[in-house]
Structure 1
Amino acid sequence: MFTIHRGDCLESMRTLPDNSVDSIVTDPPYGISFMGNRWDCDVPSTNVWTECLRVLKPGSHLLAFASPRTQHRMAARIEAAGFEIRDMIAWVYGSGFPKSRDVSQAMERYMAGEQLDPATTSIRPGVYRVTAFLREARNRAGWTNRQLDELFDTNGMAGHWTTTGSQPAVPSPQQWEILKAALGFGDELDALVADLGATNRPESGGQDEGRRTRGFLQSLIKYKDAPPAGGWGTALKPALEPITMARKPPVGSVTNNVMVHGTGALNIAGCRIGKDLIKVEGRRCGGEQIYSAIQRDDYTGGRHSGRWPANLLHDGGEDVTDVLGEAARFFYCPKASKKDREAGNTHPTVKPTDLMRYLCRLVTPPGGLVLDPFMGSGSTGKAAMLEGFRFIGCELSDDYAAIAQARIERSAQDAA
């Protein structure tokens, strides 16, 4: 059985009774403006997590994905709502792609005085005011952009300094002083140029620190034709997503809470991990497949065989197993495949069903009710149906809610 609420999750959750939900497993906005989407401009507010706390039964667990950059803010707001932070699970994968700017390739423009990456669409306030001012000053003085380039021994920078269109740039404060003398304008924009060009280039001089800085900048230029790994960049390769594990405070002892409410404990036996890759129906498998095989006659390890569930999950890829070695025998789950996403699923951050099944199983009592306030395309709901749980999902987007409805319905039919 499942229910989908379309609209704001805060309003939807307010319709649910107190202490009525057994677990929350969710992939909320990370607050990193993913792909420029407005819904990802911030992590959920404390008010949202307070409502989650209200609807959960005492002792129930919350699992919330996050970005490494904003995990601290997510966990702080969850804790401020009244939850106990119990742990952080790291889902590790080898397929992340570095989203780094190659600083080496940008050094020529930087040393020439360009303050902005021409490829960016984000223009700092005040830049076009400076370029318009310079264009008028150039025209009054009867100069051309070619003459300005000759003055600074650059090739095309004057066009960026005087443009009305794309790729605007602001001269450095030192270049600005030269332009003032050459074009004969005053100091009315000095403060703005100083602010936009706050990162000064090293001046020529005899001090040791200056020589070391210039040597470093020159070394970056030498790497400008090398791949990003050979030079200097701005970001690390993404390889994990943290999952905050929190719990609504139990009433009395955990034992008493479990007896009264059925919540408060983790399903350790149901989530043990096979010690080694084993053969099931002639195939080598691990992790989720091993758990599924535990219930069948062709597995002889016993229900309680395997490693204790850890706060590390990984995707089983070669990049991860090469690093972890023997430690790679933890539960693993790759990112969502095209088949797992299902046809027509346009959501950009689909989580794999096997991973969501594992997480739902870990924190939900048999037959329990799972809530996902940020349902997206329904991976948690799909997982809950396959695990035999009940499900409530909230989704702001009608398009994603429709996708989730279809995916969850199919899973409910498969599980029947």
Structure 2
Amino acid sequence: MNEPTEWIDRLICGDALQVLRKMPSEFVDAVLTDPPYFYDKLDNEWKLERVEKRLPSQRVVKHLPPGMKFDPEQGRQFYRWFLRVAQELLRVLKPGGLFFCFSSPRLYHRLAAAVEDAGFWVRDCFIWLYLQSQPKAMGLHHFIDRLPLSDEAKQQLKEQLSHWKTPQVKSCYEPILVAQKPYEGTFLENMLKHQVGLFNMQVRVGDNMYPANVLLVDGINEVMDKYFLVPKPMVQEKGEFNDHPAVKPIALCEHLIRLATVEGAIILDPFVGSGTTAIAAKNTSRHFIGIDINPDYIAIAQRRLREWRLNLFEQVGISVS
């Protein structure tokens, strides 16, 4: 596929880096993605094979052996891997194109460094706040049980340390890196030539407020109504068949797409997962390109898009039977 039009509105199963290298230069208007983190895993190599042996259907290991240690080398491995990805994203983006990338609190600094070192300008860090999260701290009982102590001494130690756990509080936010490919000339010249590089301030949120870099979950309190309130997606939105571990809300992705692009723009997601970015692009009258290495996720994304089309036909009164 050498022509830009051959890539539009396609879901592609393959390694993101390899697929990106085949893409034409400077034809994508924006990138919106949530890359795999791999930090909760059993080895220090940034490869899928070892992880998938433990949990074949997901790219994030959720159940780990007790006492697993965080290794800073994992962050360095992530940086080296994502630097290569970001370099290709820089190439395929139009000058001035915006790049939104979900991250995690532990790896955000590595992500931002990789993106900046690839040649992007780091513009901001949006914060998506939510409440539907499980506590991640781990108690010490299983460690105490392994100590060469009497049962009585172990019980005393457990009581003494009953409120002390590993330093991991309940995670209620997710950082979103906002970066930009350097623009050509001035902001105005770049916008007139490429139709990218600026934020649309008519994309108002809440009580007619300007877009903010804090995106809050709904139902916190009335004071927060001036911000963009986005809950985690429910089963009805994801689909009962969707087992992807990190589905993002469609409304959140729609907001970011509207903020940075005009209708008809091309939105690239090199880690499309179950297809939320693709659906958000279609909902906002944009085009998409989705890549994922996992064929199961591509199948889920295809199914979600089929259901999206069926719902669209029903809304306009077209029979598909």
TM-score (norm 1): 0.61
Instruction: Kindly provide the amino acid, as one letter, of the partner of residue 307 in structure 1.
Output: M
How much has 1:232 moved relative to structure 2?
4.3
Match of 2:33 among 6, 26, 30: 26
Query: Per-residue CA shift, 1:342-394, capped at 9, x if unaligned?
Result: 13111111111111111111122221000000010001001111111011000
* 1:183 paired residue number: none
* 1:353 paired residue number: 250
Instruction: Return closer, same or farther for 1:406/1:232 CA change in 2, 3 Å cut-off.
Output: closer
* 1:239 paired residue number: 172
Instruction: Return closer, same or farther for 1:414/1:2 CA change in 2, 3 Å cut-off.
Output: farther
* 2:308 paired residue number: 411
User: d(CA) in 2 for partners of 1:24 and 1:92?
Assistant: 21
Query: Per-residue CA shift, 1:328-351, capped at 9, x if unaligned?
Result: 531011101000111311111111
User: d(CA) in 2 for partners of 1:307 and 1:268?
Assistant: 9
Say whether residues 1:222 and 2:159 are aligned partners.
Answer: yes
Instruction: Kindly provide the amino acid, as one letter, of the partner of residue 212 in structure 2.
Output: A
* 1:312 paired residue number: 214
DSSP-derived class of the 1:85 partner: strand
User: d(CA) in 2 for partners of 1:413 and 1:61?
Assistant: 31
Matches within 5 A, 1:15-414: 15-33=22-40, 37=51, 39=59, 43=78, 44-103=81-140, 105=141, 108-109=144-145, 112-113=147-148, 154-155=150-151, 221-224=158-161, 230-269=163-202, 271-275=203-207, 306-318=208-220, 321=221, 326-414=223-311
Contact 2:195 2:261 in 1 (8 A): no
Instruction: Return closer, same or farther for 1:405/1:232 CA change in 2, 3 Å cut-off.
Output: closer
Instruction: Return closer, same or farther for 1:90/1:106 CA change in 2, 3 Å cut-off.
Output: same
DSSP-derived class of the 1:63 partner: strand
How much has 1:239 moved relative to structure 2?
0.5
DSSP-derived class of the 2:122 partner: strand
Instruction: Kindly provide the amino acid, as one letter, of the partner of residue 251 in structure 1.
Output: E
User: d(CA) in 2 for partners of 1:256 and 1:65?
Assistant: 29
How much has 1:220 moved relative to structure 2?
6.4
Instruction: Return closer, same or farther for 1:219/1:403 CA change in 2, 3 Å cut-off.
Output: same
Instruction: Kindly provide the amino acid, as one letter, of the partner of residue 238 in structure 2.
Output: R
Contact 1:386 1:411 in 2 (8 A): no
How much has 1:33 moved relative to structure 2?
2.9
How much has 1:316 moved relative to structure 2?
1.2
User: d(CA) in 2 for partners of 1:409 and 1:390?
Assistant: 15
Query: Per-residue CA shift, 1:202-244, capped at 9, x if unaligned?
Result: xxxxxxxxxxxxxxx99964345x5xxx444431110101000
User: d(CA) in 2 for partners of 1:20 and 1:387?
Assistant: 19
Contact 2:272 2:291 in 1 (8 A): yes
* 2:69 paired residue number: none
* 1:288 paired residue number: none
* 1:8 paired residue number: 15
Instruction: Kindly provide the amino acid, as one letter, of the partner of residue 373 in structure 1.
Output: P
Contact 1:388 1:415 in 2 (8 A): no
**Higher CA-based Rg:** 1
Contact 2:95 2:181 in 1 (8 A): yes
Instruction: Kindly provide the amino acid, as one letter, of the partner of residue 117 in structure 2.
Output: A
DSSP-derived class of the 1:235 partner: coil
DSSP-derived class of the 1:69 partner: coil
Contact 1:385 1:412 in 2 (8 A): no
Identical positions, percent = 34
Contact 2:137 2:165 in 1 (8 A): no
User: d(CA) in 1 for partners of 2:166 and 2:41?
Assistant: 20
User: d(CA) in 2 for partners of 1:327 and 1:336?
Assistant: 20
How much has 1:51 moved relative to structure 2?
0.4
Instruction: Kindly provide the amino acid, as one letter, of the partner of residue 154 in structure 1.
Output: S
More helix by share: 1
Instruction: Kindly provide the amino acid, as one letter, of the partner of residue 205 in structure 2.
Output: I
Contact 1:31 1:70 in 2 (8 A): no
Instruction: Return closer, same or farther for 1:256/1:406 CA change in 2, 3 Å cut-off.
Output: same
User: d(CA) in 2 for partners of 1:259 and 1:155?
Assistant: 75
In structure 1, list runs of 5 or more residues that go unmatched.
114-152, 158-216, 276-305
Contact 2:15 2:293 in 1 (8 A): yes
DSSP-derived class of the 1:45 partner: helix
